Amino acid sequence: MKRTLSGLMALLMLLCLAPAARAEALAVESQACLLMEKTTGEVLYAVNEHEQLEPASVTKIMTLLLVMEAIDSGSLRYDDLVTASAYACSMGGSQIWLKENEQMTVEDMLKAVCVVSANDCSVALAEHLAGSAEAFVDKMNQRAGELGMKDTNFVNPTGLPAQGHVTSAYDIALMSRELILNHPDIRRFTTIWMDSLRDGASGLVNTNKLIRFYQGATGLKTGSTDAALYCLSATAERDGMELIAVILKAPTSTQRFESAKVLLNYGFAAYGLGEAQLPQPLTPIPVTLGDAPSVTVRPEGERTILAAKEKLAAMEAAVELEERLDAPVEAGQQVGRMTVTSGGETLAVIPLVAEQAVARLTYWQIAQRCLRMAFMGG
């Protein structure tokens, strides 16, 4: 018994040490990191992913998310004019030097936030949407709760140093995924390398160097302060797969970008996306005592599979269906499953469901059917 317990403890210690060992092997130099695939939301790699740390301007991903949600819902337009308040103009740090009462379109302010991490524009957009920065922060924290960001507490829309303003690598990945998955138009701004505002008078150069120097880079947001050190949520897409690499508290700016590249390179080299394909057309299933003789079948839910590339190449699918169903049958009722495997390992189990409802015949309808059959037989 003691030998068994010792073995279990050794295994648990090995599992606990595995992420750190992998991080060292991957040369990730940061306090916390995480790699996530966008479509499935699956975490491919993580170290200290739930440790609460200051995110600096990576905070602005939530600010951008709320702005994009307002735009996509129709409550805000790109060409709406935003007026800068004295408070917004007083932010300091990264900015485009807005002047009090200066007006700029939502589109131009979004560009300034995405490209040069403008604190003044972040607060101006927050005030425009919610009436005040404080009210906007309430919306930020509410949305964080809805996304399951349990390690997060926002105090401002910018990420400037503030007591209690914390998040985690995991939570940053969650809000990054929500932004790029459901609001793809943000890529118009996050992929800009150089641009300008105010009719060319204000030049912009992206703080995210990966946009210029990493193949497939699509964003997303940098951040740095004396306390947070160097942070990044980096996104990149290759061969139809987009990855999110989060780096928190890297010692230098260069290490931040290099560490993100290490994570992204690892993900693109090792993993891929495939789609579960039906091995044969799904045949309708007969229905007993139904107002229709059979019901057609379809796969339910996501059929995209994330797996190691060698496993994707050897994927196989097997279908199991009910031979017959008793009425009533509900639309969406599970009537079978498709199991996707590779090398004996199950990669996914996809429900197969009825496409339409089939009601049960009434006693009178059953009697009528019996009479018709008897008459025809006679």
Catalytic center residues? 57, 60, 117
What DSSP designation does 64 have? H
Whether residue 343 contacts residue 311, with contact meaning beta carbons closer than 8 Å, is answered with: yes
Note every long-range contact of 298-301, with CB atoms under 8 Å and residues 24 or more positions apart, other chains counting: 298/352, 298/353, 298/355, 299/338, 299/350, 299/351, 299/352, 299/353, 300/332, 300/334, 300/350, 300/351, 300/352, 300/353, 301/350, 301/351
Tokens coding 73 = 């819902």
Torsion angle of the four alpha carbons 47, 50, 56, 57, in this order, in degrees rounded to the nearest 10: 90
| Residue reference for tokens 């990149």 | 236
What DSSP designation does 226 have? T
How many other C-beta atoms can be found within 10 angstroms of the C-beta atom of residue 302?
Answer: 12
Whether residue 19 contacts residue 31, with contact meaning beta carbons closer than 8 Å, is answered with: no
The kind and range of the H/E element at 129 are helix 119-130
The beta strand positions in the chain, using DSSP E, are: 32-37, 43-47, 81-83, 103-105, 194-197, 202-205, 217-225, 229-238, 241-250, 271-275, 285-288, 294-295, 297-299, 304-308, 315-321, 325-326, 334-342, 345-354
| Cα three-residue angle 181-106-64, rounded to 5 degrees | 35
Among 149, 111, 104, 148, which Cα is nearest to 127's? Answer: 104
Tokens coding 48 = 């200290």
Among 1, 124, 15, which Cα is nearest to 63's? Answer: 124
297-299 sheet: strands from edge to edge: 297-299, 345-354, 334-342, 315-321
Strands 285-288 and 325-326: parallel
CA of 272: how far to CAs of 49, 244, 313, 339, in Å?
Answer: 23, 14, 10, 19
